[in-house]
């Protein structure tokens, strides 16, 4: 099997809890190439959310949107095994407990236990996501059973793709500060070609799904990334796997809310 095949399954195994075949090849080259498939993983998450939404309304056209939103959020979290939420909690604890010190911040990130700040930030982010999912369902559901499928595609597919597709760009422009961390092998895959192709593809999809609102959402996306990168550089001098996961979660919450609004 070629490198791309192993890289795809590596990305699946790393970013999701979906069943994958046994990986006979796991090395730095496979990990680096897996970055190419990060937007595709977001697309698979989006397809799962859309399929569950369709199944829910097929089963009961009068299904409670609040209940459906809660179930969709559960699927969203379970898809990655809360991997990115763990990074968010660790980063929040470290940013507060680190007291501006790089070494202390990095040390706190390694602590598997979550403190009050980490728990609080996770709850707030999940609350924003839940409210945004409900708002999207409410806005997309029209009269006489008609649906605004483009709005659902933007919220449930484009947003996960944008969030995961940002990782190559962040790794390409931000030093990785740990000598041997979970994402250290990915850095070599963040080439200008990968970043350019990923960014172009996501911009085109945004134009298709959002049309006149695409420029605003893309500008917001880039603003979030620049602010996150600036915060990482200021505190750590670069990024870690935890801060990348935290950035994914923050992007999803804010972009979902912006599209819903």
Bridge partners (DSSP) of residue 176 are 239
Report the pLDDT averaged over residues 181-204.
Answer: 88
Q: Say if 101 falls within a structural domain.
A: yes
Does residue 197 surpass a pLDDT of 90? yes
Q: Say if 7 falls within a structural domain.
A: no
Q: Is the overall model pTM greater than 0.85, yes or no? A: yes
Residue 134 and residue 10: Cα distance in Å, rounded?
A: 33
Full residue range of the structural domain in which residue 244 is found: 42-260
DSSP 3-28: HHHHHHHHHHHHH--S-----S--SH
Bridge partners (DSSP) of residue 239 are 176
Q: Say if 84 falls within a structural domain.
A: yes
Q: Say if 22 falls within a structural domain.
A: no
Q: Say if 32 falls within a structural domain.
A: no
Q: Say if 180 falls within a structural domain.
A: yes
Sequence-distant (≥ 6) Cβ neighbours of residue 77 within 8 angstroms: 85, 126
Q: Say if 1 falls within a structural domain.
A: no
User: pLDDT tens digit string along 6-51?
Assistant: 899 999 999 999 988 887 777 888 888 999 999 999 999 999 999 9
- Average pLDDT over the chain reads 91
Three-state secondary structure of 73-90? HHHHHHHHCCHHHHHHHH
Q: Say if 53 falls within a structural domain.
A: yes
Does residue 181 surpass a pLDDT of 70? no
Output b/e per residue, 212-239; b: 16+ Cβ within 10 A.
eebeebbebbeebbeebbeebeebbebb
Bridge partners (DSSP) of residue 141 are 147
Residue 207 and residue 196: Cα distance in Å, rounded?
A: 17
The total of structural domains in the chain comes to 1
């Amino acid at each position: 099997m070629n490198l791309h095949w192993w890289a795809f399954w590596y990305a699946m195994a790393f970013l999701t809890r979906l069943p994958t075949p046994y990986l006979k090849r796991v090395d730095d080259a496979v990990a680096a190439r897996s970055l190419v498939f990060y937007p595709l993983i977001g697309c698979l998450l989006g397809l799962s959310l859309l399929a569950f939404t369709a199944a829910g309304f097929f089963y009961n056209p009068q299904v409670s949107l609040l209940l459906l939103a809660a179930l969709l959020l559960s699927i969203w979290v379970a898809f990655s095994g809360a991997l990115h939420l763990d990074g968010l909690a660790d980063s929040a604890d470290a940013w507060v407990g680190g007291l501006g010190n790089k070494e202390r911040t990095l040390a706190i990130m390694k602590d598997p236990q979550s403190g009050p700040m980490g728990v609080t930030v996770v709850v707030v982010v999940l609350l924003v996501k839940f409210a945004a999912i409900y708002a999207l369902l409410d806005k997309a559901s029209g009269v006489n059973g008609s649906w605004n499928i483009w709005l659902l595609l933007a919220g449930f597919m484009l947003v996960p793709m944008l969030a995961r597709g940002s990782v190559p760009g962040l790794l390409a422009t931000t030093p990785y500060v740990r000598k041997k961390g979970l994402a250290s092998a990915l850095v070599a895959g963040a080439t200008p070609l990968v970043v350019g192709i990923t960014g172009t593809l996501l911009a085109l999809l945004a134009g298709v799904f959002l049309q006149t609102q695409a420029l605003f959402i893309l500008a917001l996306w880039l603003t979030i990334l620049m602010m996150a990168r600036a915060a990482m550089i200021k505190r750590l001098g670069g990024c870690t796997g935890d801060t990348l996961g935290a950035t994914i979660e923050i992007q999803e919450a804010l972009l979902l809310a912006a599209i819903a609004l």
